[in-house]
């Protein structure tokens, strides 16, 4: 199991130091939540901030776009150094065209689905996805409760990916903590995003180590 701390829960006044701190604590991937105040009722940061932070670590930057028109900003996030770009099937952009833009820049493409969206929404694109992001909370805020029902989507996707002979990774995001990560691991998740569970812990390394141990 790979752990991707969500920087949404970090201390933004020392954003760069927080990346270095979780890097040294054993984070596998840096999860960066971009919100536009339109697709979700919250605002965070954009490509210029990510670009300034890129030098803080060599770990992959997993950029989760919770924005209405992702196609308009793909080049900016690619220029900023994103390794993975996830956008939502529920957005207003054309999905295939947005995937084209991501692929053209050599960035790994991923599609995300909100809790209310059936897994079918990603199936037409599965063959070209590096990763599927299954939201286990309503996107917008950290610190919400994990929705175990979403594991049905993970189990279905795991089988579909195997049946098609693909290597697509499955990521879950929202409410991952000591008491929920084993459920995600059992369902077949590859990457767990964890905000509160890592940044809210007194010792980030101990928190990440414990999350990994709990996956068995
Ligand atoms: C929510 C974000 C998540 C969030 C997770 O919209 O996509 O990445 O930061 O935070 P926790 O782990 O606290 O649920
Ligand atoms: Zn996220």
> Which burial class, exposed, middle or buried, applies to 96 when counting CB atoms under 10 A from its CB (0-12, 13-18, 19+)?
exposed
Ligand 1 atom with the shortest distance to the CA of 194 = 12
CB of 190 closer than 8 Å to CB of 154: no
Look up the pTM and report it: 0.98
Q: Taking the alpha carbons of 142, 63, 83, 23 in that order, is the dihedral positive or negative?
A: negative
CB of 4 closer than 8 Å to CB of 133: no
Q: Which ligand is nearest to the CA of 146?
A: 1
Task: Look up residue 145 and give its two tokens.
Answer: 């409760």
pLDDT band at 108 (very low <50, low <70, confident <90, very high): very high
Block residue for tokens 């080049």: 75
Ligand 1 atom with the shortest distance to the CA of 198 = 12
Which pLDDT belongs to residue 52? 98
- Give bridge partners of residue 148 from the DSSP assignment: none
pLDDT in tens, 65-76: 999 999 999 999
pLDDT band at 197 (very low <50, low <70, confident <90, very high): very high
DSSP element (H, E) containing 113 = strand 108-113
Q: How far is the CA of 152 from the centre of ligand 1 (A)?
A: 20
Note if 62 is an active site residue.
Answer: no
Which pLDDT belongs to residue 69? 98
Q: Pick from 137, 160, 38, 172: which is nearest to 93 by CA?
A: 38
Which pLDDT belongs to residue 216? 87
Phi, psi (rounded to 5 degrees) for 60: -60, 145
For residues 4-18, give the mean pLDDT.
Answer: 98
Where do runs of H (alpha helix) occur along the chain? 15-24, 47-53, 74-79, 95-104, 151-163, 181-187, 196-199, 204-214
pLDDT in tens, 27-55: 999 999 999 999 999 999 999 999 999 99
For residues 112-138, give the mean pLDDT.
Answer: 98
Q: Which ligand is nearest to the CA of 139?
A: 1
Block residue for tokens 């996030």: 77
Which pLDDT belongs to residue 132? 99
Which pLDDT belongs to residue 111? 99
Which pLDDT belongs to residue 170? 99
Domain 2-214: top CATH class = alpha beta
Note if 83 is an active site residue.
Answer: no
Asked if residue 179 has pLDDT above 90, the reply is: yes
Q: How far is the CA of 37 from the centre of ligand 2 (A)?
A: 15
Q: Pick from 194, 191, 134: which is nearest to 160 by CA?
A: 134
């Amino acid at each position: 199991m790979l752990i991707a701390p969500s920087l949404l829960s970090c201390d933004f006044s020392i954003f760069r130091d927080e990346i270095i701190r979780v890097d040294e604590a054993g984070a596998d991937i840096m999860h960066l939540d971009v919100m536009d105040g339109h697709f979700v009722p919250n605002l965070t940061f954009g490509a210029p901030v990510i670009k300034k932070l890129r030098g803080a670590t060599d770990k992959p930057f997993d950029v989760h776009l919770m924005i209405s028109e992702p196609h308009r900003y793909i080049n900016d996030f690619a220029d900023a150094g994103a390794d993975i770009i996830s956008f939502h099937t529920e957005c207003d952009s054309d999905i295939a065209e947005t995937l084209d833009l991501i692929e053209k820049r050599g960035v790994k493409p991923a599609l995300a689905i909100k809790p209310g969206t059936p897994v079918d929404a990603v199936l037409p694109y599965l063959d070209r996805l590096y990763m599927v992001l299954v939201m286990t909370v309503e996107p917008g805020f950290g610190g919400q409760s994990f929705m175990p029902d979403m594991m049905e989507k993970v189990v279905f996707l795991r089988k579909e990916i195997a049946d098609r002979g693909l290597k697509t990774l499955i990521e879950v995001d929202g409410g991952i903590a000591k008491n929920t990560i084993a459920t995600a691991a059992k369902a077949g998740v590859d990457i767990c995003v964890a905000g509160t569970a890592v940044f809210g812990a007194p010792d980030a390394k101990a928190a990440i180590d414990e999350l990994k141990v709990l996956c068995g």
